[in-house]
């Protein structure tokens, strides 16, 4: 997993012990003198003004923790999205099960939607095509299946009404 830091509160304002670039994940590992370690994206390094020996007060510690959690949630979401299409709802549930905070999950999902990596309409189209290839199901059952996946009922109704989806 991308995240291996400790999220305990700092006792005596730790300092940045080391900052190591991780080329494969395009991230940096920041180790603090209290033993905690955070993986963050390159832009967070400069946004937070981190450098070796910098003292990390409680505010900076929280910002570092938040940046690390956002990065980890984003990496996990991309990993999940690379495997198959997901609805917004499904991705939210999977990230919640992994312990990510709700505000972090919302930011990650919003970004993935802006980048068109996740899209409920595209998910619903793929889901319907797959279900219709495997077995014959009626409109009601298909609609219930998509509703259970959190797809907006307007998208579901529109897709089920389209002539290219024959039911």
**DSSP codes of every residue in 29-86:** EEEETTS-EEEE-HHHHHHTT--TT-B--HHHHHHHHHHHHHHHHHHHHHHHHHHS--
Residues linked to residue 19 through DSSP beta bridges, in sequence order: 30
What whole-number distance in Å separates Cα of residue 167 and Cα of residue 162? 10
Does the model's pTM come out above 0.85?
no
pLDDT digits (tens, 9 = 90+) for 101-111: 999 999 999 99
Q: Is the pLDDT of residue 163 over 80?
A: no
Closest CA to 37 of 54, 18, 13: 18
Task: Please write the tens of the pLDDT for every residue from 32-75.
Answer: 999 999 999 999 988 999 999 999 999 999 999 999 999 999 99
Torsion of CA 74, 80, 85, 86, to 10 degrees: -70
CB 166 within 8 A of CB 131: no
């Amino acid at each position: 997993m991308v995240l291996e830091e400790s999220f305990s509160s700092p006792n005596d304002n730790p300092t940045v012990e080391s900052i190591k670039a991780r080329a494969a994940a395009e991230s940096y590992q920041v180790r603090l003198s209290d033993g905690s370690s955070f993986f963050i994206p390159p832009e967070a390094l400069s946004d937070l003004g981190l450098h070796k020996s910098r003292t990390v007060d409680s505010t900076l510690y929280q910002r570092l923790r938040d940046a690390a959690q956002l990065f980890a949630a984003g990496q996990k979401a991309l990993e999940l999205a690379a495997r198959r299409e997901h609805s917004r709802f499904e991705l939210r549930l999977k990230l919640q099960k992994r312990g990510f905070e709700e505000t972090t999950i919302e930011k990650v999902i919003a970004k993935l939607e802006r980048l068109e990596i996740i899209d409920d309409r595209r998910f619903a189209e793929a889901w319907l095509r797959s279900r219709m290839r495997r077995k014959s199901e009626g409109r009601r059952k298909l609609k219930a299946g998509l509703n259970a996946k959190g797809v907006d009922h307007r998208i579901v109704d529109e897709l089920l009404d389209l002539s290219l989806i024959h039911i």
